[in-house]
Amino acid sequence: MIEQFRIKFPKIKAHDLDQDEEYFFLMEPEDKERKILFHEYAEIYKIKGLYEHLFYERLKCNSPTKVSEALKYSLSQVQENLSELRVLDLGAGNGMMGEQLRKQGVARLIGVDIIPEAKEATERDRPMIYDAYYVEDFCNLTEEQREDLQEWSFNCLTTVAALGFGDIPAKAFIEAFNILQSKGWITFNIKETFFNKSDESGFSIAIRELIFSEYLDVYYLERYQHRLSMEGQPLYYFAIAGRKNADIPQNFLPSIGITA
């Protein structure tokens, strides 16, 4: 059961804010209002059920289901099964994507997030979802940390609603990509505007270049409704799934003009 909370959205129009600027008020005892940004995940995870209530009940987030479907469809094209996957769930948060993957039959599943509160929330709310859960900064992995992760022999990388907005930088995503075994599967989602050439942010450039590079074969690409805005307007993302062809070289980001 999803916990019930008293939350209010501000009067300001949602289209005046970027997604990482959206916020809400949590009504606390004695009608005190606590302002929390949507991307203040650490604060949201501390309160059991708040993340689910906000994003899944109020804002109708659909991404774990859609992204797992993209992966399943891609595997069906080559007669492979989800049960054979060894999955690295990057930006795992409190385990929503992991829970969906378990329902689809994934047997081995490892979560990773940079926020300690994400691991704590998962252990509190979904203690049986992951075989292990790491709190790591994929932009600054030590060789020992990288070798530890590689021992899981990952053949699938998933990440949901965590790319862009500074949550998972392109460098961290590439690090995770390269930890995958050869011909491993990748599935993720990105905001639709990240595909626009008018978006010249480093992340958008990196993702566009990667999708159309020789390092990844795309099997699935679909625009869909990720969730609603504060005002009830649909926010669209792309769900993407594909197969790794080769490691991304260290000079990939510098070669497309990205220095960090």
Q: Are 160 and 64 in contact (CB under 8 A)?
A: yes
> What is residue 163's predicted lDDT score, i.e. its pLDDT?
77
Closest alpha carbon to 172 in 145, 192, 195: 145
In the numeric block, the tokens 């011909």 are attached to 183
Q: Are 145 and 123 in contact (CB under 8 A)?
A: no
Residues 113-131, buried b or exposed e (16+ Cβ, 10 A)?
Answer: bbbebbbbbbeebbeebbe
Q: Are 37 and 17 in contact (CB under 8 A)?
A: no
> What is residue 104's predicted lDDT score, i.e. its pLDDT?
92
Q: Strand ranges (DSSP E) for the chain?
A: 7-8, 23-28, 32-37, 86-90, 108-113, 132-135, 156-159, 185-191, 216-228, 234-244
- Name the average pLDDT for the chain: 91
> What is residue 1's predicted lDDT score, i.e. its pLDDT?
46
> What is residue 230's predicted lDDT score, i.e. its pLDDT?
86
Domains of the chain in start order, with CATH, are: 7-58 (no CATH), 63-255 (3.40.50.150)
Helix, strand, coil share (%) of the chain residues, nearest 5: 35, 25, 40
> What is residue 172's predicted lDDT score, i.e. its pLDDT?
92
Residue ranges of the chain whose pLDDT lies below 50: 1
Ramachandran sector of residue 245 (left: φ over 0; alpha: ψ -120 to 50; beta: rest): alpha
Partners of 136 in the β-ladder: none
Which helix (H) or strand (E) is 102 found in, with range? Answer: helix 96-103
Q: Are 98 and 159 in contact (CB under 8 A)?
A: no
- Helix 96-103, helix 63-76: angle, nearest 10: 40
What is the model's pTM?
A: 0.93
Would you say the C-alpha torsion 155, 158, 163, 168 has a positive or negative sign?
negative
